[in-house]
Amino acid sequence: MVKALFFGQSPIVAILWGLLLLTSLTALFLGFWELSFVAFSTFALAVTPVFLASRLQISLPVPFLVATTVFIFASVFMGEAFDFYERVWWWDVALHAASSVGFGLIGFLFVFMLFEGDRYAAPPFAMAFIAFCVGMTVGALWEVFEYLMDTWFGLNMQKSGLDDTMQDIMINGAGAALGSLAGYLYLRGRGDGVFSRLIDQFIDRNKQLYRKSKARLRKDTR
């Protein structure tokens, strides 16, 4: 099962997963229970998108998997096991800023999928607004996760409590707005940057979810 899980993954993803498993087992053997728990929890969170994508028959592009794994590794493992949240003042801000843009893009891809990739099923601004709401929801759920981890397992993911949570929510809002803006520009045919390429890559790997978009694109190219 482990071989099947690691096979075909990006080298960066496979190395991080292997490091987490090795750390968890070594810490367990040495009696460092908290480190073992944090490492294994990080590994479980990192592989969850792969299992969910498999169940939903979604193909995840390599950049998405790498970004997800690095974010979880940096936030849960590095942030907690090595106390980077306290040692590096900008660690939490940087992680939330980067992840919130990803949440916005994920929100756009989800909304676009609901319309089967039909660019004309709803006005671009409406789809961008819904994508923003989805991105904010994902960010809020992460804050709930941080609270539960602090409450149940005695971690310190929230640091200063309410102030940290509100700062994170505001950063999530800015990132979700940027991600949804990228989706808006993509719908208007004005997207020509890295975000548009990521959107195209995801759609190309999951054509069955975006049938109308691909059919319309084929017509436009004739």
Alpha carbon distance 217, 222 (integer Å): 9
Contacts of 78 (CB under 8 A, 6+ apart): 84, 91
Is 78 found in the same domain as 91? Answer: no
CB 108 within 8 A of CB 181: no
Is 76 found in the same domain as 96? Answer: no
Is 111 found in the same domain as 184? Answer: yes
At residue 222 the predicted structure's pLDDT band, cuts being 50, 70 and 90, is very low
What's the confidence (pLDDT) of residue 177? 92
Is 58 found in the same domain as 103? Answer: no
For 188-200, letters b (16+ CB in 10 Å) and e give: eeebeeebbebbe
Is 61 found in the same domain as 146? Answer: no
Q: Among residues of the chain, what percentage have pLDDT more than 70?
A: 88
Q: Is the pLDDT of residue 118 over 80?
A: no
What's the confidence (pLDDT) of residue 38? 87
> Domain boundary at 82, 117, 147, which?
82
Q: Is the pLDDT of residue 219 over 60?
A: no
Query: How distant, in Å, are the alpha carbons of 57, 65, 69, 185 from that of 141?
Result: 24, 20, 18, 27
CB neighbours (10 Å) of residue 157? 21
Is 127 found in the same domain as 194? Answer: yes
Query: How distant, in Å, are the alpha carbons of 73, 84, 204 from that of 164?
Result: 20, 15, 38
Q: Is the pLDDT of residue 1 over 50?
A: no
Of 80-84, 87-91, 115-119, 200-204, the range with the lowest mean pLDDT is 115-119
Is 99 found in the same domain as 50? Answer: no
Which tens digit of pLDDT belongs to each residue from 4-53? Answer: 455 567 788 888 888 998 999 999 998 888 889 889 989 998 888 888 88
Is 220 found in the same domain as 125? Answer: yes
Is 35 found in the same domain as 10? Answer: yes
> Domain boundary at 49, 82, 115, which?
82
What's the confidence (pLDDT) of residue 8? 63
DSSP state of 168: H
Is 210 found in the same domain as 112? Answer: yes
CB 158 within 8 A of CB 147: yes
Alpha carbon distance 137, 114 (integer Å): 17
- Residues spanned by the domain of 25: 1-82
What's the confidence (pLDDT) of residue 2? 52
Q: DSSP string covering 19-85, please?
A: HHHHHHHHHHHHT-HHHHHHHHHHHHHHHHHHHHHHHTT-PPPHHHHHHHHHHHIIIIIIIIIS-HH
Is 111 found in the same domain as 141? Answer: yes
For the entire predicted model, the pTM comes to 0.76
Give Rg (Cα) of the chain. 19
Alpha carbon distance 165, 140 (integer Å): 9
Please tell me which of 51-65, 123-137, 158-172 the model is most confident about, judged by mean pLDDT: 123-137
Comparing C-alpha atoms, which of 99, 131, 101 is closest to residue 114? 131
What's the confidence (pLDDT) of residue 162? 78
Which tens digit of pLDDT belongs to each residue from 75-106? Answer: 888 887 888 878 888 888 888 888 888 888 88
Alpha carbon distance 168, 137 (integer Å): 13
Count the domains in the chain: 2
What's the confidence (pLDDT) of residue 181? 92
Is 101 found in the same domain as 117? Answer: yes
Of 1-15, 115-129, 178-192, the range with the lowest mean pLDDT is 1-15
